Structure 1
Amino acid sequence: MTSERWSTHAVDLGTVTVTKRFGPQDGDRHAREWRALTLLAEHAPGLAPEPLHGGTDDGRPTVVMSRLPGAPLRGVRMGARETAALATTLTELHTCLPAARLAEVPARPGRPAGIAARIRTWQAAGLPRAQAPEVSAALRGGLRWLDGSDVARPSAGAVPAVFGPGDGNLANYLWDGARVRVVDFEESGRSDRAFEIAEVTEHVSAWLGGSLDVPGLLHHLDLTPAETARLTECRRLLALVWLFMLALDAPDRPRNPPGTAARQARRLLDLLG
């Protein structure tokens, strides 16, 4: 969900290749990246960069991959063509691995239980102060919803497992005018489709500086009734964690335009109904 905020890796963009060098705080991100690239090269060739070399450079894990064409969808006001292409890519990405191969993939980090625990930690420290009334109201409403939600404890087998890239940032989805391709698999792993779709629809990149047509995207995705119900809960959870992160933004070093937290608060309140 938020690997872009905390990852310590460096990225070198060559003419035809991309090299990622991972730092000591990145844990197993290099292994997740390499595993995802090799699996996708086998089962969905062309959807993601081709893995070229995995090793070390000055003791740092390194992954070298091909460079994909296209421009990031982040900051783009997406039309019908881009939205339909993104839906096609998400469907292929989530479902391309055979069940036996998917069962071998570790669960991705940042699952709902972990997100709920992070929110509870922030709650215990006290709600962010000096916020607009609608931000405080949305935070309180989101916490009341979380008290009664089982989003962190889905029923076993209620939704099928899928491969998840682990980051909904639209900067990781490249549009070349005909197809959407995907980069950045440091947080990838086994997941469920509702949560992965919510990662995209609720990422701040879906609306800040651009516009993702969420109803249009969902129209192209063939979800089961169980996935549809879970999607609503996952969207609320992710909207709440984003609101906390935006509300906790240091006022003397803001990373987002003024009013961003208030806009996120309105999004959460809409999702809460």
Structure 2
Amino acid sequence: MNSVQWSTHTVEICGDVVTKRYLKGDVRALLDREWRALTLLAAHAPGLAPAPIAVDREAVLPTVVMSRVPGVPLRGTPVDAGRMVAMAETLDALYGAVPYDRLAGVPVRPDHRAGLIARLRIRHGQGPRPAAGTAVRAALREGMAWLDRSGHAFAPDVPGTPVFGPGDGNLANYIWDVDDSRIRVVDFEDSGRSDRAFELAEITEHVSGWIDGGLDATAFLACFDLTPEEHTHLRECRRLLALTWLFILSFEDPAHRRNPPGTAERQAGRLRELLG
């Protein structure tokens, strides 16, 4: 048996079975979103995600048991053209998997636009860590100035056609199965109703997508047939997610650093390029 501990949960792998136990946070909400996603996708898009096996909401550590997805995570190596196309095919299938009448009853995913904006305003009031450099501080000011004039506060939270969103852009959650040249998705604890532009921005702006030079955002986004309205919304969502990541990285404790030195400065440059 292999066991790995993450910030909110542990994962135990025993043969073809994975057991996920939730440790902290709103554990039942995390579990409910994960279980809802697994059961919905098993019903409407079997094979895209782990199959649900069992759930125990009343355990000391609430638990979900699911099948093991074969393959290796995309994070950590460049995503070549074949895997990029496979990822886009999987996402197209996943976004459209849940019928509208079922999706209408699914809550909006956590940290969608309204939630992110509220958190950004709180973090802006706290300011970055004292050690944050000049470039980071300048980019944060420019980002907040853009947010203040962008009109986000008055726009609908999920514009356009709703989709089912996995809610986490970490490339570690996209598993490449070399045997059948297919990408599957894991980790749905932040999943819910969303829109395609926001979910694509979640992926392209996640630090895992560029810290290792892994994902060519322009080529990846070209795999999707977006409407003019989605292109406009995508640009704004990418700016919002890039600003969010700059705040996250500017608060990173150097003593417990999860990313290489200089990552916040690189993110400042990414944000300013998107704003430009």
For normalisation by structure 1, the TM-score amounts to 0.93
Instruction: Report the equivalent of 1:97.
Output: 98
Partner of 2:236: 233
* Structure 1 portions without partners, runs of 5+: none
Q: Does 2:208 correspond to 1:211?
A: no
Question: Quick one: structure 1 residues 24 and 132, their matched pair in 2 at CA, closer, same or farther if it must change by over 3 Å?
Answer: closer
- AA of the residue aligned to 1:100: D
Deviation at 1:158, TM superposition (A): 4.3
Task: Give the Cα separation in 1 of the matches to 2:158 and 2:61.
Answer: 39
SS, match of residue 12 in structure 1: strand
Deviations 1:106-163 (A, max 9, x none): 1111111111111111111234323222212111111110111133543488411110
Of residues 256, 260, 264 in structure 1, which corresponds to 2:263? 260
Q: What amino acid is aligned across from residue 48 of structure 1 in structure 2?
A: A
TM-score by structure 2 length?
0.92
Q: Distance in 2 between matches of 1:12 and 1:164?
A: 25
The alignment partner of 2:62 has SS state of: strand
d(CA) in 1 for partners of 2:270 and 2:166?
24
1:155-170 aligned at under 5 Å gives the runs 155=156, 158-170=159-171
- Report the count of equivalent residues: 269
> 1:43 corresponds to which residue?
44
Distance 1:271 1:50 in 2: 38
Contact 1:37 1:50 in 2 (8 A): yes
Provide the identity percentage.
55
Distance 1:24 1:267, change over 3 A: closer
For 1:51-62, what aligned pairs fall within 5 Å after superposition? 51-56=52-57, 58-62=59-63
SS at structure 2 position matched to 1:60: coil
In 1, the alpha carbon distance for the partners of 2:153 and 2:91 equals 23
Alignment partner, residue 64 of structure 2: 63
Task: Supply the distance in 1 between the matched residues of 2:241 and 2:28 (Cα, whole angstroms).
Answer: 23
- The answer to whether the aligner puts 1:182 opposite 2:185 as a matched pair is yes
2:114 and 2:197 map into 1 onto residues whose CA distance is: 15
In the other structure, the counterpart of 1:30 is 31
Q: Which has the higher contact order (CA 8 A, sep 6+)?
A: 1
Q: CA deviation at 1:56?
A: 4.8
Letter of the aligned partner of 1:239 in structure 2? A
Equivalent residues of 2:246, 2:264 under 8 A apart: yes
Task: Report how far residue 234 of structure 1 moved.
Answer: 0.6
Structure 1 runs, 4 residues or longer, greater than 3 Å off: 155-158
In 2, Cα distance between equivalents of 1:42 and 1:7: 30
Give the structure 2 partner of residue 21 of structure 1.
21
Equivalent residue of 2:164, what SS?
Answer: strand
Whether the 8 Å CA contact 2:48–2:184 is kept in 1: the answer is yes
| Partner residue in 2 for 1:248 | 251
Tell me the CA shift for residue 37 of structure 1.
0.4
